[in-house]
């Protein structure tokens, strides 16, 4: 059974609402990703170097299909960023003497 749309069907436009505190965003300098067969969980954490502590900023739970689409979109955007601004350099280890436990 095919799941195709008619050629003349236009994409649906979705208006996204956002609370003011969400629209301001949050900062994260560490992410932990885990998964089960049914879902991916991405924890966004802020690691403070001095004194060292971590605070969970946000947790996203999503389907494997959406996680893969997110990965593809992120890869595409990183390539665009590096084309405009140069290669993103990733340090070999985190700054300071902070170890991450999982």
Evaluate whether 26 touches 57 at the Cβ level (below 8 Å).
Answer: yes
pTM: 0.75
How far is CA 69 from each of CA 16, 23, 44, 53, 72, rounded to the nearest angstrom?
19, 22, 18, 32, 5
Query: Each residue's pLDDT tens digit in the chain (102 positions)?
Result: 556 666 778 889 999 999 998 999 999 998 999 999 999 999 999 999 888 899 999 999 999 999 999 999 999 999 999 999 999 998 777 655 655 554
Tokens of 7: 């050629």
Q: What is the pLDDT of residue 25?
A: 94
pLDDT reported for residue 102? 47
Cα–Cα distance for residue pair 59/41, rounded to 1 Å: 7
């Amino acid at each position: 059974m095919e799941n195709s749309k008619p050629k003349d069907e236009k994409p649906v436009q979705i208006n996204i609402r956002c609370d003011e505190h969400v629209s301001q965003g949050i900062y994260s300098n560490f992410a932990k990703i885990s998964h089960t067969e049914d879902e991916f969980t991405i924890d966004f954490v802020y690691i403070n170097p001095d004194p060292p502590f971590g605070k969970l900023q946000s947790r996203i739970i999503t389907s494997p299909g959406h996680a893969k689409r997110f990965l593809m979109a992120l890869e595409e955007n990183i390539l665009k960023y590096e084309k405009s601004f140069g290669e993103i350099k990733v340090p070999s280890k985190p700054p300071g003497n902070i170890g991450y436990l999982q």
